[in-house]
Every structure is written in C-alpha cells, then in structure tokens.
Structure 1
Amino acid sequence: MLEVINDFLSGKVLIVIIVGLGGYFTIRSRFVQFRHFAHMFTVFGQSLRSSSDQLSSFQALMLSLAGRVGAGNIAGVGIAVTLGGPGAVFWMWVTALVGMASSFFECSLAQLYKRKDAEGQLRGGPSYYIEHGLGKRWLGMIMAVLLLVTFGLSFNGLQSHAVTSSLNDAFGLSTTWTGLGLAVLLGLVFFGGIKRIAKVADLLVPVKTLAYIAVSAYVIVLQFDHVPEMLLTIVRSAFGMDPVFGGLVGSAIVMGVKRGVFANEAGLGSAPNVAAVAQVEHPIAQGVVQAFSVFLDTFVICTCTALLILLSGFYTPGFEGDGIALTQNSLAAVVGEWGRMFISVALALFVFTSILYNYYLGENSLRYLAGENRKLLLGFRALVLVLIYWGAVEDLGTVFAFADITMTLLAFVNLIALAMLFKVGLRVLRDYDAQRKAGVKIPVFDADQFPDLDLDRSAWPSLKNSASPEPQPLGAQLHTPR
C-alpha cells in the first residue's frame, strides 16, 4: 500500500507541483535565477562577514549545504541513473533550474517573517511564514509536524543506514560499532545547539565538498575527450532519442525529478528553516545565497557524480545494485581500489553533516509546536540518537517509502503557501532590485515600508532610529505594492 501511494504522489503529484509551480515562479519573477546569477557570487562573497550574536549568512549557507549535499548526491544520483538511465540527469537539471526560483522565494520569505525567541535567537521557516503571512497557524502546525517526521526522524535513520553499510562494504567495519560511534559523535554536537552545529558545518562542508569535486574532476579530466558525447547522450536519452535508452523516458523523468528534489530539497520547505536564522541586511540577500546553494548542489556536485558513473565504463544498461555500489565501483574502475574507500569516507562526511541539518530542522519544528519545553527537547534528542543507531543496524526500506510520502506532502503544503505569498515576495524583490538599480551596493530592508505585513520588529528594527552605518533604503517611493 505504501508503494502504491508513494508511486502516485512522487511519480505524478510531485512532478506537477515542483516543475509546474517552480516554472510559474520563474516566469512571474522574470527569471530571477538568471537575472541574479552573476550577483549570486557577489552576495556569496558578502556573506563571508560574520555576526557576533547571530549566525552569519555564510554560516547559514554552510548549514543548508550540509543538508543539501548528502547521500542524495552519491546514492541518489546512482539510483536515478540505474533506474532512469543517463536521461534522468537532464531532468535533475530541469528540477534544479526551476527549483532555484522556488528556493529563492521560500528562503526570502523565511527571512522576511523570522522571529526572535526568548533567548534572542532568530527562528523561522515555512511554519512561520504560513502563520504570519497567511494567518493560518493550523497549517503551520501541519507543516511543522511533517518536517519533524520527515527530516527530524525518518531521514536520519536512512542516512545512518547508508553510511554504515558503505563503511562495512569498503572496510569491513561492524555496523553495530560504527552506528554507535556515529550516534555518540552526533550527540556531542546536538547538545551544543545551533551555534555548535553551525561551527561543525563551517569546518566539514567546505572540506567534503571540495574534496569530492576534486576527485570527480580528476576522473572527468582523464576521460575529457568523451565528455561532450556523454553530455549529448544525457540530453538525447532524456527525450528518448538514444536507441539504447529509448524505453526509459518515463523512468528518466520520474527518477530525475524525484532524486533531484531529494538531492537539492528546493521547494520542500527545509532550507528556509536555516535561511531564517542568518543576520542579513535584506531578506532577498539570503534568497540569492540559497538559490546559489541549489546550483552548487545539482549542477556541480550531482553532475560530477553522474559523469563519474557514466564515464567510468563500469555502468551498463540494466545494472542491478544500489546507488552507492554503482558510484563506488565506477570510481574504483578508473582510479583503483582506493576509489571505493574514498566514496565511503566522502559519504560518511556527507551523511554526518546532513544528519546535523536534519536534526536542526526537527528541533526548530518542535520549538514551533511546543515552545521552549526543555524536557521535550531532551527527549527528542534522545529519540533521534536511538533512530540513528537503529538505522545503522537495520534496513529501513519501509521507513524510506513512508518518508518519500511525507516529503511529497511537505512540498505540496510549502509550494501552495509560496504561491499564496508570491505577491509579497515580489514586493520585497522589487525593493531590492530598485536599490541595486540606484547604485546601493548592499540593499537594506526597512520594515516601516511594509506596515501591512505581520513582521517581528525586533528582528527587523526600524531604520529611523538606527545608528547603523549601512546604506539606507531609497524610501517609500521605490515600493509599488499591489
């Protein structure tokens, strides 16, 4: 029954809402992800500045990449190629392309509607913009429950199983002991709160990402003369024009969209929880940074994995095996046995940071539902650690099917909310664009220019009495709200 429901939701509903609404956001925003593409790198550079009492924009980016760049970039791509052929990679690109617009608006809205908690820390995410933007707390609570179940619980067990199985295959390590070690290390970070999680992500995310890209690039360079033909094969296979993969068009679309969403998470409502905690001058700045993270996740890292597999000569149509084994054997076919070990180590780093990110999403959702209940929070941490150990030693295939269903429901609720708040997002985007057009290097958001919105004035203080040396907004004449 779970498989039937999952096939319908992720094979039909998910494709329509992700690609359909992502395309709508792209067109209505005049292709914001293209217009701001070069600007993404400028904002990324600005995000390196730190804040003393809040997370910096760079830290929020690293934390979101901790989640986006996970098992989906290794195992997920392998599964997509195995079941959908090379054409699945093309549909992953399409999903990311329109997903950049979805991520841009969901993260900008999360910044706009963020709140300060009793401890002075910023909180936000889909539940917050659903409650304060749409006035529907009941729907925000549903969103929080779905996030808690999907990321805070289900995905953590699945990620744990992926990494312990891989380490067992490559090094012969006992899943019992690696699972226990993983739970202990993660527990040490969990109990340090969001700032410790962010510091660990700051350290591990650049290391794991650059190392993986470097090794993948080495394989691609060795086979560089075959790259143009392989890219053509990917495009031809996506539309059934390659005779070898002609019968896989339907599977290519389904697997490309499904695994693409799982890898970059654009539109799911997960990244906004992290984007909201950054201290930035304007909500759109964080939207731009998070759109860049979708690009990096899919167009760079997922493409590296896909080319590594397709250029290795190991993959053949009809390959039977899991995605991790395909990626391991593909790299080993080119560089030798150490390639299998490298994938296992890379996967371990990817999964470790992903679980930190998943845990934070669960904690943020729990705080939204129950407030600052310390006993409940400690119980949640203990439950997550138990699930991590359980997932390490047990095959949680049924849990994965259940998580796929809740992930699709997450996308549905979040994207409908984004569609309803889209005009608000456009108003804030017009303010940002107008300031840039007038020559302001770092646009600044003035909440006083949006008096009709339910914003937290402590999170967005009035600029009239501010001593900030930052450039001021151009004024109410730049706002053309509808």
Structure 2
Amino acid sequence: MLEANAFVNDLVWGWPLLLLIFGTGIFLTTYTRFITITKFGYVIKETFFKMFKKDQLGEGEVTAFQAVSTALAATVGTGNIAGVGTAIAIGGPGAVFWMWIAATFGMATKYGEVVLSIKYREKTEDGRFVGGPMYYLSKGANMKWLAVLFAIFGTLATFGIGNMVQSNSVADSLNATFGISPLLTGIVLAVLVALVILGGIKSIGKVTEVIVPFMAAIYLIGGLSIILLNIQLVPEAFRIIFHDAFTGSAAAGGFVGSSIMLSIRYGVARGVFTNEAGLGSAPIAHAAATTDHPVRQGLWGIFEVFADTIVLCTITALVIVMTGAWDTGLDGAPLTTAAFEEGFAYGGYIVTFGLIFCAFSTLLGWSYYGERCMEYLFGAKSIIIYRIVYLPLIVVGAVGGLRVVWDLADTLNGLMALPNLVGLLILSPVIVKSTKEYFGKDGIYEKEKNKIE
C-alpha cells in the first residue's frame, strides 16, 4: 500500500503540476504588473497594521482579520514545523530555496484566488456568505464540472492535509517529548475541535483570531532567539541552502543524499503545503470576510504567504540547517524538535507547544473548508455527515504512520490544485480588471492616498 500510494503521489507531483504551479504564479505576478512586490509596503500597511480593526466597510459574516485568521489557522500549521523538516530530510537543505521561490510567485496566486472568491461569492438564505473555487469555476469560468471536481477533491483533502497530518504530527511530538499516548492525543484533539466547529465560521473566527497571533509570536520569538544565539552560523546555513538547491545534497551522517529533482519536488510540494497558494482552500474562508472590494481582501492573501513561508518556514529551516540536525536521519516534527533542542535548552518545548496550537487551529480551518465543499456538492444538511466522518479521523491520524499520511496529503493537494489553477488562468483577466479598478487613477488606492496627503 505504501509503495502504491508513493507511486500515485509521485505521478501527481511530477513536472507537469510543478510547472503549472510555477507558471501560474509567474504569469499572475507578471500580468498584475508585480503588485505583490511594488505594492508590498501598502500590503503590510493594510494587513499587519490593521490586524485588529473592527470597523470595516462592506458586507460579510466575520471581520477581514477573522477570515484571514481562519485561513492562516489552516496554513500556519504543522507544515511550518513538520513539513519543513520533512522537506529538508528528503530533499536536503536546497529544498528550502525552492520553497522560497514557490512562495515568491505564490503570493500572486493566493492574491488572485482571494480576489475571485469575493467577486463570485454568494449569500445564502440564512445570511451566510459562501465562496471559493467551486463558485468562481461555475459562475465565472462556466465550468460546473471542474467546480464539482474541486469540491470532491477538496472534501477528500480535508481528511488528509487538514486532519490526519495535523493529529499525526502532534501525537508524534507529544509522544517523543512527554511519552503521551498517540491515542489519547487524538481523542483530546477530536473533542476540542468538536466544541468549536459546531458554532460555524463565527465561532471558528473568534477562536483563531486569538490563537493564530499567539502561536505565531511564541514560535517566532523562540526561533529568532536560537538564530541570534548562534548568529555566527547563519551565513554558512544560507550558503548550504543555496549551494544544495542547484547541486543536490551528498550523503552525510544519517542523511541519505538527494538530487536536484528531489530538492525541487519536495521544496515546492512542502511550500504549497505550508502556504496553500494554488490549492484553492484559503479563498473559501476569505469569502466570508467583511470587505468593500475584492482586492482589499486579496491583499490579505499576499500577507498570508509572506508570513507563513517567507517568515515562519525560514526560521524553522535556518534552525534545522545551522544546528546541523538535518543530517541526523530524523524526519518531520522529530527533526525540527531535535534542531530546536540543539539550539536552545528548552527549544523542544517550543516546537511541541507550537505544534499543538498549530495543529488545533489547522483542524478548525480545514473542517470549515470541508463543510463548504460538502455543502456545495450535497446541500447544507450534508454538513452533519461530514462532521461525523471528520472528527473520528482525527484519532485515526494520530495513530497512523507519518510517511503514509504525508504522501496521501501531497497527492490530494495536487489533485485539488489542478482544477483551481485552470480556473485561475481562465479568469486571470477578471483578476487584472479588479486590480486596475482598485489601483487605477480613480480607484480606492489613489483616493485613500490623496486623502492622507
């Protein structure tokens, strides 16, 4: 079963999908005239510095930050901790470079996804706002069959990337650090998740807007402390990353070596896993945001990828490489834990508690994605059935094998990304039109700029 799953995974994540992901990101970055770079200062001003602003224009169920917190809850997860560890363990330090490249162009991809999710979202009879690839594929691209395909893959993916991978990584870490039974970890996680998701997006948003900043801050402070305490090792860490990105990694210590192809493949795959740019998952949460223009919410998409991969994943990667833990033969969360313990006396606890919060928030975010996909396919009443399946799988994931679960998640990610990327390319003129409306001479950007002046 392991070999068959790995074969399908390798088939899905072959050169065609890698080129499609890279190509879509490069195309949208160029087509939008590099706004992810030229307007980056404005992006930070409108997102990071307005994070807790409650008085917002437009319609929606939750605040812009609650929506992005739900999306970040799903992206700032075990991918930043266990995912980076797995990428380096298999693809070598060079995989980190390809994660950066994927994120650089992925910012435009995520921006486009969010813009379209707001543009084509719908308001249900009970006042909820629903949207995402299902809606812009069917309403915008007039490709109902692709919308259905995405919803099917999206529903299935939630059980892997958003469920079993999360509980598996937490259970693995708690077992290694405190000797806690994986079964017990799974049961506790399932109960806590059930208590929150029963309240829908408003309940999830209220929880994630507290958890996400807290867990990011703790992990950020912990990781930066290790880097600063070992600042003399940073230049060599960067040298190794850049060198191995184009040469591959020779076998060393417990590391079995890797090729350039493995470096690219796992760098891009884990990059997509950590920031989800191209998957089409995050726009489902953004569709519920209160906003007056699709582009304003799209700015949060850019911020997501930057905060998730460029900042948090880089910190994890630097600690792993600079401490030399990457060639110990360890994998996933245990590798990251070992690296943090090597760099700081209580570093292992930072990883463990970071994983707990990350996984819990990710379980919440992806449960919402799955519910919306299920609702699109079978109606609102099917949400109950989805929850009955989703919650027990948290326990199953906690006691499952790491490599099998990760391969399953990667495969489902790829299948989920395909229809979404096709939709993004078809609807790229809509993204550009909305961008010009917002940043044009008579747009919101110029009006706000002139008002300040």
Same structural fold, with TM-score higher than 0.5 when normalized by the shorter chain: yes
Q: Deviations over 1:255-314 (max 9, x none)?
A: 111111111110100011011110111100111111111011011000000011112233
Residue of structure 2 aligned with 1:417, choices 403, 413, 423 = 423
Residue of structure 2 aligned with 1:350, choices 348, 358, 372 = 358
Deviates more, 1:327-336 or 1:1-10: 1-10
In structure 1, what is the Cα distance between the partners aligned to 2:84 and 2:445? 43
Residue of structure 1 aligned with 2:331, choices 303, 307, 322 = 322
- 1:2-151 matches, within 5 Å, as 2-44=5-47, 45-46=49-50, 48-50=52-54, 54-151=61-158
For normalisation by structure 2, the TM-score amounts to: 0.92
- Following TM superposition, by how much is the alpha carbon of 1:91 offset from its aligned partner in structure 2, in angstroms? 0.4
In structure 2, what is the Cα distance between the partners aligned to 1:230 and 1:3? 30
Distance 1:395 1:236, change over 3 A: closer
Instruction: Provide structure 1 residue ranges, at least 5 long, that are not aligned to the other structure.
Output: 444-470, 472-482
Distance 1:30 1:146, change over 3 A: same
Report if the CA contact (8 A) 1:36-1:288 is conserved.
no
Q: Deviations over 1:185-231 (max 9, x none)?
A: 11100111111111110111001000000000000101112212321
In structure 1, what is the Cα distance between the partners aligned to 2:161 and 2:237? 36
Report if the CA contact (8 A) 1:21-1:415 is conserved.
yes
Q: Higher Cα Rg: structure 1 or 2?
A: 1
Report if the CA contact (8 A) 1:84-1:252 is conserved.
yes
1:295 corresponds to which residue? 306
In structure 1, what is the Cα distance between the partners aligned to 2:431 and 2:201? 27
For normalisation by structure 1, the TM-score amounts to: 0.87
Distance 1:17 1:273, change over 3 A: same
Deviates more, 1:52-61 or 1:79-88: 52-61
**Secondary structure of 2:288 counterpart:** coil
Report if the CA contact (8 A) 2:295-2:435 is conserved.
yes
In structure 1, what is the Cα distance between the partners aligned to 2:416 and 2:295? 23
Let me know the Cα RMSD of the aligned residues: 2.1
Distance 1:231 1:401, change over 3 A: closer
Distance 1:268 1:398, change over 3 A: same
In structure 2, what is the Cα distance between the partners aligned to 1:240 and 1:395? 31
Deviates more, 1:48-57 or 1:277-286: 48-57
Q: Deviations over 1:308-354 (max 9, x none)?
A: 111223333xx322221111111111222x32222111101110000
Report if the CA contact (8 A) 2:83-2:332 is conserved.
yes
1:304 corresponds to which residue? 315
Report if the CA contact (8 A) 1:155-1:400 is conserved.
no
2:388 corresponds to which residue? 382
Structure with the higher fraction of residues in helix conformation: 2
Report the number of matched residues.
439
2:369 corresponds to which residue? 361
Alignment-mate amino acid for residue 286 of structure 1: Q
1:261 corresponds to which residue? 272
Q: Deviations over 1:369-400 (max 9, x none)?
A: 12221xx3222112111111122223375454
Distance 1:133 1:437, change over 3 A: closer
1:216 corresponds to which residue? 223
Distance 1:428 1:320, change over 3 A: same
1:457 corresponds to which residue? none
Report if the CA contact (8 A) 1:144-1:366 is conserved.
yes
Report if the CA contact (8 A) 1:48-1:57 is conserved.
no
- Following TM superposition, by how much is the alpha carbon of 1:254 offset from its aligned partner in structure 2, in angstroms? 1.1
Matched, 1:165 2:169: no
Residue of structure 1 aligned with 2:344, choices 335, 341, 348 = 335
Q: Deviations over 1:87-111 (max 9, x none)?
A: 1111000000110010010110101
In structure 2, what is the Cα distance between the partners aligned to 1:204 and 1:109? 27
**Secondary structure of 1:173 counterpart:** coil
In structure 2, what is the Cα distance between the partners aligned to 1:7 and 1:153? 17
In structure 2, what is the Cα distance between the partners aligned to 1:295 and 1:322? 25
Alignment-mate amino acid for residue 353 of structure 2: V
Report if the CA contact (8 A) 1:186-1:352 is conserved.
yes
Alignment-mate amino acid for residue 107 of structure 1: V
